[in-house]
Amino acid sequence: MGDSDAVKRLRPLEIDGVIQCEPGEGGLPKVSVTTPLSRAEVYLHGAQVTLFKTAEEPPLLFLSERSRFVTGTPIRGGIPICYPWFGPRSGDVSHGYARITEWELAATRMHPDGTAGLRFVLPEAAANQGGIRAGAREEWTSLKAELYVSVSDRLELELVVTNPSESQNVALENCFHTYFAISDISEIAIEGLQGTQYRDRLQHDQLIKDSDRQIRINSQTDRTYLDASGPVHIHDPGLKRTIAIEKAGSASTVVWNPWTTQILSDLGPEEYRRLICVESGNVEKNQVVLAPGQSSTLKVSMGSLPLVQASVA
């Protein structure tokens, strides 16, 4: 397949042997990153990371075999960027328009320690569709959003949003809706959320305090943990690894698995067994309010380590 105009525009940003731009699934422009320790792939569509893998590990992220790669439709898997809202919104896409917009690749670099860095910019027109989108607010049209992706033995993402207004506060939600690859949903234990409160979407949105040291998934799960800013570990004996998720600038953590009951056309019937979403952001009462001229940074750092033996009860 010949280079599309979008891929041709990316050529000057390539770094030989490290950063290549090429047509990906569905012909969508994809940036492939190779470092001495790892590989990654990021689609300009949604600035969505779809692959991260260190040399000796299975991929860290789950990507549905049935994901569509079509403009205007979210990719199912990897790290969707939920912005500037989280969740459903009447007349517009769920989780905001950032993940169905083609971002611009603004810069690439290779650090002396071998880390590869990418910077993506959300086009200002994203909030519009020939007129402001049904779900968008006027004040969002002037926000500046940039995504920094850093690839080494870990994967780090930073979403930086700036309010250029000289007079107006702007409220928004943001979230890295990360799909982690696991051996089997029955195997894993999630640790780090003990003692925090969550809104349970499966129990009439009631607020519940989580007293479990470890969370195990045995049915459809959709929990929004509020005022939860700490690290989370996903212990996976099946893959003999613990996935470590650290974050900064994030007060909310969402845990989701569709099980067999939430039917999604872009997710195979058995794929629920091989994914768990642990999402890092600021949603609901944890929403971000930017004063005039203020910026916010949502940062997540993820990687895997040998299974923390004592962890799995």
Q: Kindly identify the residues of this chain, within the stretch 268-297, that bind ligand TA6 according to CB under 6 A.
A: 277, 279
Q: Write the CB contacts of 130 (distance below 8 Å, at least 6 apart in sequence).
A: none
CA distances from 101 to 60, 108, 127, 202, 298 (A): 24, 20, 9, 30, 19
- Is residue 240 helix, strand or coil? coil
Which of 24, 74, 84, 249: binder of ligand TA6 (CB under 6 A)?
Answer: 74
Amino acid at 216: R
Which residue has tokens 């994967």? 155
176 binds ligand TA6 (CB under 6 A): no
Tokens read off for 122? 């959300």
Least separation, in Å, of the C-beta of 74 and ligand TA6?
5
Check whether the bond before 58 is cis (ω within 30° of 0): no
Which of 62, 176, 256, 272: binder of ligand TA6 (CB under 6 A)?
Answer: 256
Select the span of 87-95, 105-113, 144-152, 289-297 touching ligand TA6 (CB under 6 A). Answer: 87-95
For ligand TA6, the closer CB: 225 or 256: 256
Least separation, in Å, of the C-beta of 310 and ligand TA6?
30
Least separation, in Å, of the C-beta of 208 and ligand TA6?
16
How many chain residues touch ligand TA6 (CB under 6 A)?
Answer: 12
Which of 71, 94, 206, 260: binder of ligand TA6 (CB under 6 A)?
Answer: 94
For ligand TA6, the closer CB: 64 or 163: 64
- Contact yes or no for 46/30 (Cβ under 8 A): no
173: closest CA among 90, 81, 93, 91?
Answer: 81
Judged by the rule CB under 6 A, the positions of this chain that interact with ligand TA6 are 74, 87, 94-95, 177, 201, 222, 254, 256, 264, 277, 279
